[in-house]
Amino acid sequence: MRTHTCGDLNASHAGQTVTLAGWTDSKRNHGGVLFINLRDLYGVTQVVAAPGSPVFPVAEEAKSEYALQVTGKVTLRPGANANKNMPTGEIELEASEIKVLNASQPLPFDLGEHAGVSEETRLKYRFLDLRRPRMAKNLVLRSRLSQVVRNYLYALDFNEVETPLLTRSTPEGARDFVVPSRNNPGEFYALPQSPQQFKQVLMMSGMDRYFQLARNFRDEELRSDRQPEHTQIDLEMSFVDEQDVARVVEGMMKAVFASLGEEVAPPFREMEYTEAMLKYGIDKPDLRYALEIKECSDIFKASEFKVFSGALAEGGVVRAIKGEGAAVFSRGDMDKLTELVKKLGAKGLVWLRFKDGKWESPTLKFISDAEQAALKERLEVKDGDAVFIAADKAAIAAPCLGGLRNELIARLKPAKLTKWAFLWVRHFPLLEKDAESGAWTFTHNPFTAPLPEEAHKLDTDPGNVRSAQYDLVLNGVELGSGSVRNHSRAMQEKIFALMGYDKQQVQKRFGMIVNAMDFGAPPHGGIGIGYDRLIGIICGTESIRDVIAFPKTTSGACLMSEAPSAIDERQLKELHLKITD
């Protein structure tokens, strides 16, 4: 049906007769001659229909997004008419035959520019939205990079294994999507939140190195970087430690970015979880920017300012962050930043501006000259800077200043230190208290192992046990999460016991994996890397919906297929279900 694509032709094809197929991207009449830009996935070629030629009436008929087949001779554009901004800009196709393969109704939005068009409209007509070059490019890139990932892992003797999509419900941090079993009335499958247990069992089965581009499902609140179904590069390896996993992942990222002409240099920076929270107030800091939170409790240990002295007396901290150039912020700006940290849990925010060689602040009279001098030195304050101080429990001060740091980056737009800032954040707490029940629960994953030197604390201080858990962060986004796993049944059951599970409950809910631990389970570890997030970062999109072919809205709906939808009474009866108010 075609001899070339719309992105193939150049000056070397001049004089050849070719056939193209694609869509009418645009059309213009210049001096009676019709020029059609014919577009397909690969590019755009200019088609010329001269007045009086047999093809002219068909060219006149063609409107936006008509599917056309065009045959003609490739000719060089006159020098002044050549378009150096187009790969095919040296040539044009003098049409000798144009066939309308399919007409198009008037478009619901302009494919060349969707500004002002709601995302709902774009998602409803996704088949049109995906014709736009930017969207098409995102999906092509996604496809190509999956091949890079596969080739890299195959070269390291990984085996691609598909794990079940119909499994049982397990507590992995979010609500499950459940599927009723027709053959087992009253029983349900769950769609996997991750292949966690199956991939660990694969290691216990001797598979040694596993991967898949896994589809995962989580019934949770949606946002720009979350979907109810997502794809992750899922890895698991036997007889490894944290560094073994890191070397494989870093090599994979290097290969992915090299395929794009970008350079990232392993080994990636590493940071303890406690250091990340102290310096950046968040466990996924964006290290493209230099802003750091500074511990200032020692500066204010004898402070007469009750905000500081009161927090320190209750075992809290006083920490500060500098906004370079933030002295230009108005009082209204400062009030908005104060409201921001209050929403994050702080009681308030102390701020000081340094202008014309002196401090300005409504609280300056409570801060001694010595404290002002020490603060200026600690944060390396220069004229035009502002300092923001939080005094509270460390668990509150850290995320408040972390959120403030992100807001300062957004407002001040400081210079980037690098284009791609990878970071390993390591050794998260193994357990934390559930906010509702007060019981111990896992911070990341119930199968994560404690660090060997920390395991003894499980008996006396379980809230302060560091784990072999690690996150991979890229440009302030949690790209992946993984750990070295428990391979001892005794250790796994001990952790479950702290979480309130007795042996019968463990056997009922996790029997598959704990039973396998009884038969020489090897030390193993792995990671799941968010593929949608990775592609979104590379493409520079604000939402992962722009790198997924058919995403859901923030309410979990597919506007094009109109899912979810009701099912009829016959289906309900077969599934032994009844809808109640």
Long-range contact pairs involving 109-116 (C-beta distance under 8 Å, separation at least 24)? 111/25, 111/64, 111/65, 112/25, 112/26
Nearest to 65 by CA among 127, 17, 118, 20: 127
The answer to whether residue 17 sits within a structural domain is yes
The answer to whether residue 278 sits within a structural domain is no
Total Cβ atoms within 10 A of residue 126 = 18
The answer to whether residue 50 sits within a structural domain is yes
- Burial (CB count within 10 angstroms: exposed 0-12, middle 13-18, buried 19+), residue 332: exposed
Q: Which of 412, 436, 467 is the last residue of a domain?
A: 412
Q: Which amino acid is at 580?
A: T
Q: What is the CATH classification number for the domain harbouring 54? A: 2.40.50.140
Strand partners, 39: 23, 44
Please give the pLDDT value at position 172.
54
Residues 433, 501 share a domain: yes
Residues 147, 179 share a domain: yes
Contact in structure between 67 and 29 (CB atoms under 8 Å) = no
Residues 295, 263 share a domain: no
Q: Which of 374, 390, 412 is the last residue of a domain?
A: 412
The answer to whether residue 126 sits within a structural domain is no
Looking at the 3D structure of the chain, how many domains does it have?
Answer: 3
CA triplet 431, 434, 440: central angle to 5 degrees?
40
Residues 401, 293 share a domain: yes
The answer to whether residue 577 sits within a structural domain is no
Residues 177, 60 share a domain: no
Helix ranges (DSSP H) in 268-346: 273-280, 306-313, 331-343
d(Cα 502, Cα 105) in Å, to the nearest integer? 64
Residues 150, 244 share a domain: yes
Residues 254, 144 share a domain: yes
52 lies in which domain range? Answer: 11-102
Q: What is the CATH classification number for the domain harbouring 152? A: 3.30.930.10
Please give the pLDDT value at position 171.
58
Contact in structure between 529 and 249 (CB atoms under 8 Å) = yes
The answer to whether residue 320 sits within a structural domain is yes
The answer to whether residue 408 sits within a structural domain is yes
The answer to whether residue 427 sits within a structural domain is yes
For the entire predicted model, the pTM comes to: 0.94
Residues 453, 338 share a domain: no
Please give the pLDDT value at position 408.
98
CA triplet 172, 242, 206: central angle to 5 degrees?
75
- Burial (CB count within 10 angstroms: exposed 0-12, middle 13-18, buried 19+), residue 69: middle
d(Cα 405, Cα 410) in Å, to the nearest integer? 9
Residues 176, 85 share a domain: no
Nearest to 228 by CA among 548, 571, 487: 548
Residues 530, 479 share a domain: yes
Compute the half-sphere exposure of residue 494: CA atoms within 13 Å on the CB side of its CA. Answer: 17
Rg of the Cα atoms in the chain: 30
pLDDT, averaged per 10 consecutive residues of the chain (581 residues), comes to 97 97 96 96 97 95 97 92 91 97 95 80 96 96 98 98 93 81 94 95 98 95 86 98 98 98 97 98 97 97 95 97 97 97 96 96 96 97 97 96 98 96 98 87 93 96 96 98 97 94 91 96 98 97 95 94 94 92 76
Enclosing H/E stretch for 74: strand 67-76
Backbone angles phi, psi at 397, to 5 degrees: -60, -40
